[in-house]
Structure 1
Amino acid sequence: MGKIVVSVNVTLDGVVQDPTGDEGFKQGGWFDFERAGEEWARTEYAEALGAEALLLGRRSYEWFATRWATRTGEWADRLRSLPKYVVSSTLVDPDWTNSRVLKGETLDEVSKLKQELAGDLVVYASGQLARTLMEHDLVDELRLMVYPVVLGAGERLFGEISDTKSTRLVDTQAVGDALVLLTYEVVRDA
């Protein structure tokens, strides 16, 4: 059985909204790729190497596809080669290599994927999808790349959920001199 891993960039106060400033959010653009540096890129590339597939919401899929489909290099090649599953009711014909839109009810389709795959099914960005999967106990691990800024407003990764979700810290890693990667395992009730 596969493992669903939610991997997101997040501010110190938990905001995941508009890290690159592309969405028009007033406080968007808080993730500075130059400040994140080469160590961030190496960490993200290693995560891609360890993934069996990607699971993305439509908006995140479109963001990644426009930036990575034509790039060159090992990281771009790896992302192109990975199977990509897209949760969307509007996207019909994804054009990024090895991409497929999940048909049917999201939770059923993701549960099937989790049963079929043996490795990590990584959810990049995709806040709404991550919240839905967490709400329905489908997430196994959280990888939070924490950026040292407090916005005070914006969409949080989990916001309101219906019940407490317990996690256990399994790893911390300094990434360059600005970021910290926190890895949490979701603890299920016995």
Structure 2
Amino acid sequence: MGKIVLSGPQNVSLDGVVQDPDGAEGFERGGWFGQFGGEDLQAWNKVALQEALRAEAWLLGRRSYEFFGARWRPRSGELADRLNSMPKYVVSSTLEEPDWNNTTVLSGDVVSEVSKLQRELDGEIVVPASYRLARTLVDHDLVDEVRVVVFPVVVGAGERLFGEAEHTKPMRFAGAKTVGDGLVLLTYEFVRDA
């Protein structure tokens, strides 16, 4: 059975914003990821590679799929090669012909399709970015683990990783690791009712 992990790594500001970290979406407060470089960026790249190497597959929403595909398809190198070759599943009711290799479109009911995928795959099914998809998966108790890299910046506005939920979602701390000079990788597991 597959383990669904929100990661990739999932970049989040200190105040919880995940929207437009690189500024490509045109969000007025986007681009906060780019304020960090040097040792932080090198260490972040190592984390991203480790995450990709341990993933069985990526699960994405359409917008994140298009963003990552455009970014990684033309590249080469260890991380690009892994992302370009790994199985990818994109949740979309509009995408008909995916242009990134090893991609399967999940066009039916999100919860049913992801539950089926989780039963069919072993290993980690990583959801990078895709905060709208992540919220749906969390609301339906399909996520097993969350890994976020916290950037020491307060964005002040923007979309958060977690939206409003019908009920609380308890988690258990599973680890912390310093990344570079100023970033922190936090890992939490969702607590399921016994």
TM range (shorter): over 0.9
Partner of 1:164, secondary structure, is coil
Unaligned runs of 5+ in 2: none
Residues 24-35 of structure 1 mapped to structure 2, 5 A cutoff: 24-32=26-34, 34-35=37-38
| TM superposition score normalised by structure 2 | 0.96
Partner of 1:31, secondary structure, is helix
Counterpart position of 1:39: 43
Counterpart position of 2:14: 12
| 2:24 paired residue among 22, 25, 45 | 22
| 2:149 paired residue among 145, 151, 155 | 145
Compute the displacement of 1:74 (Å). Answer: 1.1
| TM superposition score normalised by structure 1 | 0.97
Q: In the alignment, is residue 125 of structure 1 matched against residue 129 of structure 2?
A: yes
Separation (CA, whole Å) in 2 of partners of 1:151 and 1:189: 35
Superimposed CA distance per residue, residues 95-122 of structure 1 (whole angstroms, 9 cap, x where no aligned partner) = 1110111131111010001001110000
| 2:117 paired residue among 92, 113, 123 | 113
Compute the displacement of 1:187 (Å). Answer: 0.5
Q: How many percent of aligned residue pairs carry the same amino acid? A: 64
Q: In the alignment, is residue 79 of structure 1 matched against residue 83 of structure 2?
A: yes
Runs (4+) off by over 3 Å: none
Compute the displacement of 1:155 (Å). Answer: 0.7
Compute the displacement of 1:73 (Å). Answer: 0.7
Separation (CA, whole Å) in 1 of partners of 2:63 and 2:159: 15
Counterpart position of 2:2: 2
Q: Once structures 1 and 2 are overlaid, which stretch shifts more, 173-182 or 24-33?
A: 24-33
Partner of 1:60, secondary structure, is helix
Counterpart position of 1:49: 53
| 1:93 paired residue among 86, 89, 97 | 97
Separation (CA, whole Å) in 2 of partners of 1:168 and 1:13: 20
Unaligned runs of 5+ in 1: none
Compute the displacement of 1:166 (Å). Answer: 0.5
Q: Number of residues paired by the alignment?
A: 190
Partner of 2:37, secondary structure, is helix
Instruction: Note if contact 2:17-2:160 (Cα within 8 Å) is conserved in structure 1.
Output: yes
Separation (CA, whole Å) in 2 of partners of 1:161 and 1:104: 23
Provide the alpha-carbon RMSD of the alignment.
Answer: 0.9
